[in-house]
Amino acid sequence: MDPLGHLAIIWASVLVATWLSERTRMTPVLWYLFMGAALVNLGWLPEAPQGFIERFSELGIIVIMFALGFEEDVGRFLKTAQRSWGIALFGALAPFAMAWGLALWWFGDPRIALMCGLAMTATAVSLTMVSLRSEGLQHSPAATGIMASAVLDDLASLALVALLVPLVVSAQPVSLGSELWALTKALTFFGLVLALSVWVIPHDLGASRARRLPFIGRYGIRHLIQIGEGMQASLVMLLLAMSLALIGQALGFHPAVGAYLAGLILREEYFHVRDRPSRELYLRTKHVIDDVAFTWIGPVFFVTLGARLVFEGELLAAVLAPAIGLYLGLMFAQVLSAGLAARYTGGFDWADSVMIGFGMLGRAELAFVVMGIAYVQYPILSPEAFYTLMLSAFLLNWSVPVLIRWWKPWCTGARELPAWMRERQGHGADDPPAPPAGSG
């Protein structure tokens, strides 16, 4: 079939997946993966997309990660990070160690174990927030803690992916020189992004000496956004995302890293056309970016990733036990580590601490991006490891709305906690509600 025919089938499957997501209240990502697996096993999609579809799905990774960075509010993140650092640290180390240890035991390959650990580290905050919103808990202290912790996890996971993937895929044996070179490239790239965010993108540099530099001191990204009275703002955003993605790729990193950072360094005030404070242009641009990322380009990546799941009886039988074992191990490690950290480092009460543990179980966009890098772009993961991760992620995401709904009566006070949990109950209840999401 012609590649355009395959694209039409993929887009039709995205509509079906969205409908199923609304009916089941599960993240659309899971249904995109399911539709890709179903279509490839029916013979309607090729097992290994090439050419146009392959490149189109790679573009999907870039716009997805840019959109995720663009919707993140760095200011809010910094304000809540102090309280949530323990949740992010211990809530990431425990699942990483669990996934790494189990993968090393089952597959016996340190590279596979490392990628499994990285894939299972980042939390799917979008899935959790949708589940909390459906239960009326989106402004609870638990929601604030989950949001800040998940952002820290995502940033740490991206940094680790940027540093470790080039070393893992290198044909040369790992040495001190290669590690230093990878670290140098990483510092160069993040230094470049920092310079862009501090000196190049802003047009108002205040008392900074950089304002004396030719051109940089007078112009910034706001002037590009104002071209055509803001009608080209979406194009400017996507161009910035693609530029940093390509620069990152040139330095040996996955383009998703650069795209995420491109979104993260943008601020809402850059969209105030002619210095008139207004959210209209920002909201319109964000709507376009989200539409591109989550409606018609980004989902192609997940559908084609799901198309890698060619069902074979022997393979499924071989991975069923490891997948269930990884699911149970990650559930134990994630809930215990995040819950205890929320209680003893974040000062949350027991009801919110348990909810935070449940809320950090989900694995979505970033986890599947890591799987795609390690299975599609680079042949690191074996089919057995890939299937194990996919099935485990599906079970973890399925558990999030179920557990949040089950624990809601205790979180809201409708049911009384056990006596040992009622000690200092109510601590954290006066925390301010989480503000609406904004741009990075």
Tens-digit pLDDT profile for residues 232-256: 999 999 999 999 999 988 886 778 7
Q: In this structure, is residue 394 part of a structural domain?
A: yes
Per the model's pLDDT, the better-predicted residue between 311 and 349 turns out to be: 349
pLDDT value, residue 177: 67
pLDDT value, residue 339: 92
Nearest to 256 by CA among 371, 162, 364: 162
CATH code for the domain in which residue 233 is found: 1.20.1530.20
pLDDT value, residue 9: 95
Q: In this structure, is residue 426 part of a structural domain?
A: no
Q: Is 16 exposed, middle or buried (0-12, 13-18, 19+ CB in 10 A)?
A: middle
pLDDT band, residue 437 (cuts 50/70/90): very low
pLDDT value, residue 438: 47
pLDDT value, residue 215: 55
Q: In this structure, is residue 391 part of a structural domain?
A: yes
Nearest to 14 by CA among 55, 43, 71, 57: 57
Q: In this structure, is residue 438 part of a structural domain?
A: no
pLDDT at residue 316 is higher than 90: no
pLDDT value, residue 206: 54
What mean pLDDT is reported for the chain?
A: 81
Q: In this structure, is residue 7 part of a structural domain?
A: yes
The C-alpha atoms of residue 40 and residue 43 are separated, in whole angstroms, by 5
The C-alpha atoms of residue 57 and residue 51 are separated, in whole angstroms, by 10
pLDDT value, residue 327: 95
Residues 107-135 have a mean pLDDT of 80
Residues 145-155 have a mean pLDDT of 73
Q: Give tens-digit pLDDT for 8-23.
A: 999 999 999 999 988 8
Per the model's pLDDT, the better-predicted residue between 218 and 388 turns out to be: 388
pLDDT at residue 164 is higher than 80: no
Angle between helices 3-24 and 28-42 (to 10 degrees): 140
pLDDT value, residue 427: 44
* Candidate from 84-98, 209-223, 338-352, 385-399 with smallest mean pLDDT: 209-223
pLDDT at residue 344 is higher than 70: yes
Task: Output the CA–CA distances (angstroms, integers) from residue 370 to 102, 160, 255, in the order listed.
Answer: 18, 11, 12
Range of the domain at 203: 3-421
Q: Give tens-digit pLDDT for 279-301.
A: 888 999 999 998 998 898 988 98
The C-alpha atoms of residue 60 and residue 46 are separated, in whole angstroms, by 18
pLDDT at residue 126 is higher than 70: no
pLDDT value, residue 74: 63
Query: Which of 56-70, 312-326, 327-341 is most confident?
Result: 327-341
Residues 89-100 have a mean pLDDT of 91
The C-alpha atoms of residue 25 and residue 21 are separated, in whole angstroms, by 5
pLDDT at residue 410 is higher than 80: yes
3-state secondary structure of 384: helix
Per the model's pLDDT, the better-predicted residue between 69 and 182 turns out to be: 69
pLDDT value, residue 430: 43
Cβ(139)–Cβ(77) under 8 Å? no
pLDDT value, residue 412: 87
pTM score, whole prediction: 0.69
pLDDT value, residue 393: 86
How many domains are contained in the chain?
1
Q: In this structure, is residue 432 part of a structural domain?
A: no
CA dihedral 270, 272, 276, 277 (to 10 degrees): -90
Q: In this structure, is residue 427 part of a structural domain?
A: no
Residues 264-292 have a mean pLDDT of 83
Q: In this structure, is residue 129 part of a structural domain?
A: yes
* Candidate from 155-164, 255-264, 297-306, 377-386 with smallest mean pLDDT: 155-164
